[in-house]
Chain A
Amino acid sequence: MIRLVRRRLAVAVPVLLATSMGMFLLGAASPMDPAMQYAGAAAFTASEENLAQIRANWGVDDPLPVQYARWLGNLLRGDLGWSTSRHEAVSEVIAARAGWTLLLVGLTLAVVLVASLLLGAIAAYRRGGLLDRALRATAYAVESMPVFWLALAAIAVFALALGWFPAGGLTDVTAGSASFGDVAHHLALPVAVLAISQAPWFVLFVRDSVAESLREDHVLAARARGLAGRTVLFGHALRTALLPFLTLVGAHLPELVGGSVLVETVFSLPGLGAVSVQAALGSDFPLLAAITLVTTAVVLIANLLTDLAYTAADPRVRVDG
């Protein structure tokens, strides 16, 4: 187990380094001049000496390797830099918003896992039945719907036409402070939309692997012993199918993060996704780079955790970095 962790870290560290270097090079290739950006409208009247002074203060004229080393050194010391579009420290922006994104993604993942395991297993048990066919058709249709469009359609129906849920935001503006029920009411629609848009892949995967394990010998043996259909399905077939599912959940996380960026933007949620779009629109390199790096690190850690869970659950697995 320790060997697995060490091997994974041996891969994760170069990945993060390479990502940071690639992003730095892209940022350096960007036509944006940070001094002009900082000065804003004043850049038209500012003297060339003043602009040069700003550039010298920030060290943006230094050779690229020097700049990269300085940026990386600052990152490692916990100094994520200064957001040029929001005019506050990047670490403060991330700290104030990461929680909401984690909440959105975590809740969605929980809903998706429970729903896909339940629906997928039942569809596999009654293969070719009404639920199976309806589920597969819906899954293919939903998979081709862009999540932001699904979100707009949900707002049109459930927020505007029926008025069941608020159309956006995290709390009621008229309420003085955020209460648990208020936040839950505001998060219900975003979580549902993100879960539905992510579910097809999970449901189809569970369905196929349960269908396969229903044909295995030990499931047949359980049936032959006269166990109830439900016990065979959930106690024997689903358990066998659960293991490969675990690792693939980890592999699917990046897509979930991408979906949360769009859902946060549509529902005006104060999360990392929405702020990264604002940063992109403002060419805010420090903030955008920090968010991408932090998210990548979190995804890598989550992958490591699912691998650990996998080896803990199934000792037969050959540990192969």
Chain B
Amino acid sequence: MADLLTRRSLRDVTPAVVLGAAALACVAVPLLWPLDQSAVALDRVAQAPSWSHPGGTDDLGRDVLHRGIYGLRVSLLVGIVAALTATVVGGVAGGVAGLLGGWADRVLMRVIDALSALPHLLLGIFIVAMLRPGLGAVILSIALTHWLSTARIVRSELLSLRTRPFIDAAISGGASRARVLTRHLLPHVLPKIALATTLMVPHAVWHETSLSFLGLGLPPHLASLGNMINDGQRSLLTGAWWASIVPGALVVTVTLAIAALAARRRDRLDPRVRAELEL
């Protein structure tokens, strides 16, 4: 039993520690060791990881870990802003569908079904290509392709809440539409929305990294994880594997930690699922 408890709390603590360390690094490193984005140091090109450069240096002599932390900062920022934007779009669409019902619901659900049949990455590439690569285009491209799941969740929650007796009670008690929405419906939907947003952040980070990797994301001189993995592709052939593997490992660790934390939270919201998983 004690063994089980520690193992379970370890699963809770590890992602939190990883995320805390990443957040601390993202805040502290730019303050303590500011990075000159355009600086190169040709006297220490493609050095393997060592104590002075824990992530090695790339083919222009830039410290991979230092730039990686800057890239992580940008990726997380883009991921969070894009996930929030997607949540607003999805929340409004799902809210309209769930509250109005009827033909508005049918039309919106058809649109959502249709959009989920489109290859998201191709659509994202198209949006970025037409709007010119840049921060705004990347965020827009993520938001426009990722709002579908949130809309579905909000809609189905609202549809099931609408039929519950306490809503009827509130309405027969004379509550206005606005009051029913803000005092009775939203408190039930918000935790689910928050969870969906958290689970979307890793997807947004992967989308941003993919676009940057293809050269369609952030400007190439800026340290972003996708740009760095793309740059590292050149040095891979000369044996300097760390230039692309280290930034990739940062993406994997941080997104895995976010996903694990959100998954634990979801299990706690719905114990039935956890019981199934623990079996």
Query: How many residues of chain B are within 8 Å of chain A by beta carbon?
Result: 45
Question: What is the chain B residue whose CB lies nearest that of A321?
Answer: B110
Which residues of B lie under 8 Å from residue A146 when comparing CB positions?
A: 206, 209-210, 213, 229, 248, 251-252
Tell me the bound Cα distance from A143 to B205 in angstroms.
13
Q: What distance in Å separates the Cβ of B196 from its nearest Cβ neighbour in chain A?
A: 17
Tell me the bound Cα distance from A295 to B119 in angstroms.
8
Tell me the bound Cα distance from A29 to B256 in angstroms.
37
Contact for B125 among A149, A259, A288, CB less than 8 A: A288
Residues from 73 to 131 in B contacting A, C-beta threshold 8 Å: 110-111, 113-114, 116-123, 125-131
Query: How many residues of chain A are within 8 Å of chain B by beta carbon?
Result: 54
Flag whether B237 is at the interface (Cβ < 8 A). Answer: yes
Contact A258 B119 (CB under 8 A): yes
Tell me the bound Cα distance from A72 to B111 in angstroms.
21
Contact digits for B252-268, partner A, Cβ 8 Å, 1 yes 0 no: 10011001100000000
Contact for B256 among A128, A140, A292, CB less than 8 A: A140
- Which one of A36-44, A51-59, A88-96, A276-284 contacts B? A276-284
Which residues of B lie under 8 Å from residue A31 when comparing CB positions?
A: 132
Contact A257 B119 (CB under 8 A): yes
**Which 10 A/B pairs are nearest by Cβ-Cβ distance?**
A258-B121, A280-B129, A149-B248, A15-B114, A257-B119, A30-B130, A254-B119, A144-B256, A26-B130, A144-B255
Q: List 28 A-B contacts (CB under 8 A).
A: A11-B113, A19-B118, A26-B131, A128-B279, A143-B259, A144-B255, A146-B209, A146-B213, A146-B229, A146-B248, A148-B210, A148-B229, A152-B229, A152-B236, A160-B239, A254-B120, A258-B122, A259-B121, A261-B122, A280-B126, A281-B129, A281-B215, A288-B125, A292-B126, A296-B117, A299-B117, A299-B118, A303-B117
**Residue positions of A touching B, CB distance < 8 A:** 11, 14-15, 18-19, 23, 26-27, 29-32, 127-128, 140-141, 143-146, 148-149, 152-153, 155-156, 160, 167, 251, 254-255, 257-259, 261-262, 265-266, 276-277, 279-281, 283, 285, 288-289, 291-292, 295-296, 299-300, 303
